[in-house]
Chains A and B, each alone.
Chain A
Amino acid sequence: MSEETTRHLVTLVVNGVVREAAVPARRLLSDFLRHDLGLTGTHVGCEHGVCGACTVLLDGEPVRSCLTFAVTVDGHEITTVEGLARDGEPSPVQRAFTECHGLQCGFCTPGFLCTVTAFLRDNPAPTEEEALEAVSGNLCRCTGYQNIIKAVHRAAEIQAETQVRPGDREGRA
């Protein structure tokens, strides 16, 4: 059938690098990242939008890559878990998950890291309730979530410590 053989050239900026591949229209963004680009950091759990393991950032906003066709987001920017570290150093969110034991098997972790990264960018000092709401769409079968919530708050602290603007310092003096 023609729809099986028709391939679409999809070009994305993934973690700051232009990547492209010719894929059928039915290729999910999750599979595009993993199979076509070899970026296996994005994990695939339920493939119907429930578990959140496949969450990536699309133009900075977290989305389910298993509920997005690669061809739909042609030309857009994607950040995956591979793109969170800076200069080989774990990001504040990654550091916090390590410090707080916010993971055990690690399968769900890429989705949590992407979700929390975007959340703390928009809300740098969340309340307990806001932190719970932020990760409510991500499932973890190991940790019992308590350490993940701790990690969200710890990441906010690390972020605040490492991103003190000159104006803030003067304000406190």
Chain B
Amino acid sequence: MSGPMTAQTARRFNLAGGAITLVTVICAVIWAFPIYWGIISSLKPEDEVVRPVIELWPETLTFDHYWFALTETQIGSWYLNSIVTALGVTFITVTTSMFAGYAISQLRFPGRTALWWLILASFMVPTQVLIINHFVLMANMGLLNSWAGIILPQLIHPVIIIVYKQFFDQVPRDFREAAVMDNASEWRILFKVYVPMNWGVTTALSIVTFIWAWNAFLWPFLAVTKTEMMTITVGITQVWDAFGVYYARQLSAAVLAGFPVALAYLLFQRRVTQAITLSAGIKG
């Protein structure tokens, strides 16, 4: 049975491997093509974009649309708004979820189980269902067209609490007991033992939350009506004028909007994949 591999079986394996590689490459191309198409279209003059043929490379290469997006729109403010709100959402969500996860995992208090079920249940409610409530609430609080108004309703991410709880659950009981014997308060146990022992989770969750917040469209679109308060995802819908839609212009703005996230992906590739796997395990 375990004799040496003959040349024939080796070739068959190679063939199978080759076929799999080919399929993967085709899939990758299918996935990547829209991005490629978006980028080259943003580099074509407008009349070339609307031509009814598939041209994989622009006849005339132009950066006019990027120039337009950068000079004729308020893209600077949009970037700033996106950065502030995305960082705000990330920082507040990750910190509060860390506290909640720790409390549910490590502390014993009345109502703990009920709270945990509530968090699990809130996970089943899509944000879209609550969006009218959020809008009315923010309007009553006078927070529309403000950073706080964009940030507050985006802070609900039960999945992050769940991930934190699971990681804190897995820390062996000895560490907590050693810290208790060492006279550490709950704050010190959390910040000096549990969080440092799970740095990987915190970075991964921060990156993934940042990407969610950066890409958020529906809520910022509703919460903001003033052009200068828009986030970049909302702002790119504004790159049109009285003469109608300019595809190349829109695409160039979209490329600019996606650029920081793409950069984050490239820099933290491994962490991002880890974070997606972490939360996907729960998101199902």
> Bound pair: A and B?
no
